[in-house]
Amino acid sequence: MGLEEYRKILGRSALIVGGDKIRVESDDLIRTLKQMVDAPDADDARLGATLRGLLAGRVAASRVSAGGGALHKGLHKGLHKGLHKGLHKGLHKGLHKGGFGAAGWAWPEIDTPWRALSALCDLKERFGWDTLPLEPPPPMEERLAEVDALHALEADLQGAGQALRRARIEAEAGNDLTAFMLPLGGSEAAAASQTAVLFQTVIWLGGFVGQHYKARFKAARPSELDPNLKPYLPVPTHSSYPSNHALQSFLVAEVFARAVPEHPGLPALYRAAWEVAVNREWAGLHLRSDTLAGQTLARLCMPVMERVLADQMRLVHAEWY
């Protein structure tokens, strides 16, 4: 079938609005899709099956109001159902394969975002992101006391009930996006490409900023403070304060919250950011003060991040609306 034929069929279709739902009603469309699925031409058959699958459900977006309204309600209901199913399926597959990151999701990957990094550097004097009022690490006595909490986590992490956490720690070491995408309803069927690009760019920018502050404070890693501590992962060579994983995770949440402020998955996204950050404590790589410093720095960085990421944030907004 040609493009003009598709247009004619869709032009004869009706959109039936009921409450907060929209459905497509068209005898021609249903009949045509059935013919396409049964067609000998493989491309027509695949396209027909895809279109019929997409139109089988009803779109929960009949109207938008300032307070959320039907869009918020429909998104919440749809994402809750999809997220529950995706989490169950994905985590089961990931654990069966031996890793949280092996859950079957392949998020779009990007090259080094040189343009965004260059823009960040160009805006250093204007926004002063290199001289933000981040408090220095706590005194050595307090940091040594924080190590005691890591010893308790170290023992718990080896338990049979922590298999999922161990898998997540391993996946998150490479800045896997799964922890951030699942709360938003992302799956292999809806990879949210622009959102994945935004998150990866944020992780690059956050890492760049974080290294600047790590070099300023030169704080020792927990295992340097107490050689009896045995981290679950290899210890990075750069310093401990602030935690880059915490900075990057909370930047992801803060940036997305500004791009799509009505998204019902935001509370879960912030919880995911906290879990990713705290998992670095479980792994013996960061103290709680490192984590909190990363969280604070993320908020302090937001003015410049919004400026650098403005175009990509608009694409993400359009992707969800």
Residue 205 and residue 106 in one domain = yes
187-231 pLDDT per residue, tens: 655 556 889 999 999 999 999 999 999 999 999 999 999 999 999
Residue 132 and residue 199 in one domain = yes
- Under 8 Å between Cβ of 44 and 58: no
Residue 94 and residue 35 in one domain = no
- Under 8 Å between Cβ of 232 and 283: yes
| Residue 72 resides in a domain | no
- The pLDDT of residue 160 is 84
- The pLDDT of residue 174 is 86
Residue 192 and residue 247 in one domain = yes
- Under 8 Å between Cβ of 230 and 155: no
| Residue 177 resides in a domain | yes
Alpha helices in the chain (DSSP H): 3-11, 27-37, 42-56, 69-97, 114-122, 124-127, 140-157, 163-172, 178-181, 193-217, 222-225, 244-259, 266-282, 288-308, 310-320
pLDDT band at 321 (very low <50, low <70, confident <90, very high): confident
pLDDT above 80: residue 294: yes
Residue 159 and residue 36 in one domain = no
Cα distance between residue 107 and residue 273, in whole Å = 18
Residue 47 and residue 87 in one domain = no
Residue 149 and residue 191 in one domain = yes
Q: How many domains does the chain have?
A: 2
- The pLDDT of residue 296 is 96
Cα distance between residue 260 and residue 255, in whole Å = 9
- The pLDDT of residue 101 is 45
Residue 147 and residue 221 in one domain = yes
| Residue 68 resides in a domain | no
pLDDT above 80: residue 314: yes
Full-model pTM: 0.68
pLDDT band at 17 (very low <50, low <70, confident <90, very high): very low
235-239, 243-247, 254-258, 271-275, range with the lowest pLDDT: 235-239
- The pLDDT of residue 32 is 65
Q: What is the mean pLDDT of the chain?
A: 78
Structure tokens at 188: 């292999």
Residue 204 and residue 292 in one domain = yes
Structure tokens at 145: 């006391």
- The pLDDT of residue 42 is 59
Residue 107 and residue 209 in one domain = yes
Does 236 or 36 have the greater pLDDT score?
Answer: 236
Domain span at 11: 3-56
pLDDT band at 51 (very low <50, low <70, confident <90, very high): low
CATH (domain of 137): 1.20.144.10
Mean pLDDT for the stretch of residues 52-76: 40
Percent of the chain whose predicted confidence (pLDDT) is above 90: 53
Residue 15 and residue 129 in one domain = no
Report the candidate in 45, 77, 44, 43 with the shortest Cα–Cα distance to residue 60: 77
Residue 88 and residue 45 in one domain = no
